[in-house]
C-alpha cells in the first residue's frame, strides 16, 4: 500500500477544537513533526480537515 508523509507546519492555536483533535489523532506531538501513514480514505479525510496546517508528500519506495 502507498504511504504518505504528513508534516505539521502551522500551529493549531486559534482554530476549532476538532481540528486540534484531528492533529493529535494523526499522531502529531509537536510543530514541525512528521508522521507516515498508509494512504487511505480515512487518513485523506483527516488531512482534508487540517489541510491548511499540514503538508503532504507521497513516499516512494526506491529500494524494492
CATH of range 3-59; options 3.30.2310.20, 3.40.47.10, 3.30.1390.20, 3.40.50.300? 3.30.1390.20
pLDDT score recorded for residue 63: 62
User: What ranges make up the beta strands (E) of the chain?
Assistant: 3-8, 34-38, 54-59
Q: Where are the domains of the chain?
A: 3-59
More confident residue, 1 or 6: 6
- 64 pLDDT more than 60: no
Q: Does the predicted TM-score (pTM) go above 0.85?
A: yes
Assess contact for 34 and 62: CB atoms under 8 A: no
pLDDT digits (tens, 9 = 90+) for 10-59: 999 999 999 999 999 999 999 999 999 999 999 999 999 999 999 999 98
Amino acid at each position: 500500500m502507498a504511504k504518505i508523509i504528513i508534516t505539521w507546519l502551522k500551529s493549531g492555536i486559534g482554530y476549532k477544537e476538532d481540528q486540534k483533535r484531528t492533529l493529535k489523532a494523526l499522531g502529531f506531538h509537536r510543530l514541525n513533526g512528521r508522521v507516515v501513514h498508509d494512504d487511505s480514505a480515512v487518513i485523506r479525510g483527516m488531512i482534508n480537515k487540517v489541510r491548511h496546517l499540514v503538508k503532504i508528500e507521497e513516499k516512494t519506495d526506491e529500494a524494492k
